[in-house]
Amino acid sequence: MNCESESSFLGKESYAALQNSSSPRSVKSTGRTQYHLNPQASYKVAILGAAGGIGQPLALLVKINLYDIANVKGVAADLSHCNTPAQVSDFTGPSELADCLKGVNVVVIPAGVPRKPGMTRDDLFNINASIVKTLVEAVADNCPEAFIHVISNPVNSTVPIAAEVLKQKGVYDPKKLFGVTTLDVVRANTFVAQKKNLRLIDVDVPVIGGHAGITILPLLSKTKPSVCFTDEEIHELTVRIQNAGTEVVEAKAGAGSATLSMAYAAARFVESSLRALDGDGDVYECAYVQSDVADLPFFASRIKLGKKGVEALISSDLQGLTEYEQKAVEALKAELKSSIEKGVGFAQKQSVAAA
């Protein structure tokens, strides 16, 4: 799916809700900073995998250009009836993928198979790795300067795959490739607010590492506003945030995975990207990107977004950690390193096979 939007692609109410859920930004004397996209600006966003479990609700939230291998026309027709300013276009199958991507500013990739009960993210690897490789090749050929938002799991491996594909195509810009880990932040904020009876709008918990199991590390010591946790609460919250995806998979009992919350989180990250492209100088999100903050090639941490993508890595979040958090960072490194190497190895092997 592909969407061309003037100003924010969301309605005022939805836009405000996403704004309020975002990481706190600077506050003026009159209160919370407000920012609106330039009404003269026009942006194109493409969702690759728009007919899927994440793609459909994400398309509803952002109402944009839709692509999938089947069932896209119905989704686009449905969305076109919404009285929001974004224009919706649909593209079906490989023969229309290039047209979907032409002139696109932000590409979102939720395509792939979802997790089912008993599946790990690694179980998804072989199928989703090939899908991401094919789609990123098309992005490299048709809109190489676009921001690329990778949602397809396992993100710890699919982002390195995307990077290798872009390198092979000679268009890799590490500042414009993102693994979307916003859902981990959304969950952390929600669970902490519930546990401590805080207003959700006030809560911001940075989440670092990766996007699977123990590689997901909420920095509860860095929670804003400042909150005191018992050791038991820290362990309980950390484990719940790390296993929240499994919690949803099991609750749906074979009927799906975390599609709605993922779509919501992805829409927030898209909104942040468009604000950054539009010149907002105060956009911060957590994302899995090429990084040197933890001696790993890729790492999730807070970043500052700008017109050219990642403007800064906020390494200060990794300073002054508690003993629990320091141990957790060391514990996650081996697993994250292995996932990165798995993705790089897959992409390089595919490249050799195609030569």
Which residues are registered as beta bridge partners of 224?
A: 204
Of 203, 179, 182, whose CA–CA distance to 191 is shortest?
A: 203
Rounded CA separation 256/118 (Å): 12
Confirm or deny that 51 is annotated as ligand binding.
yes
Q: Cα–Cα distance between 46 and 143 in angstroms, integer?
A: 11
Cβ atoms 65, 274 nearer than 8 A: no
As a whole number of angstroms, the distance between CA 352 and CA 204 comes to: 44
Q: What share of the chain is helix, strand, coil (3-state, %, to 5)?
A: 50, 20, 30
Q: Is 211 a catalytic residue?
A: yes
H-helix or E-strand containing 77?
Answer: helix 72-80
Was 170 annotated as part of a binding site? no
Q: Is 105 annotated as a binding residue?
A: no
Would you say 6 and 41 are in contact if contact means Cβ atoms under 8 Å apart?
yes
Identity at 112, one-letter amino acid code? G
The answer to whether 76 touches 137, Cβ cutoff 8 Å, is no
Residue 5 annotated as lining a ligand binding site = no
Count how many residues are written for the chain: 355
- Token duo for residue 220: 């509860």
Q: Are strands 106-109 and 147-150 parallel, antiparallel or unpaired?
A: parallel
Q: Is 213 annotated as a binding residue?
A: no
Asked if residue 292 belongs to a known ligand binding site, the reply is no
Report whether 187 belongs to an annotated binding site.
Answer: yes
Q: DSSP label at 224?
A: B
- Residue 240 annotated in ligand binding: no
* 55 is known to lie in a ligand binding site: yes
Annotated binding-site residue? 152: yes
Is 128 labelled as part of a ligand binding site?
A: yes
**Under DSSP, is residue 294 helix (H, G, I), strand (E, B) or coil?**
coil
Please identify which of the residues 36, 81, 149, 211 carries the catalytic annotation. 211
22 is in an annotated binding site: no
Q: Which residues are annotated as a binding site for NAD(+)?
A: 49-55, 68, 128, 151-153, 262
Q: Which residues are annotated as a binding site?
A: 49-55, 68, 115, 121, 128, 151-153, 187, 262
Q: Which residues are annotated as a binding site for substrate?
A: 115, 121, 153, 187
- Name the residues annotated as catalytic: 211
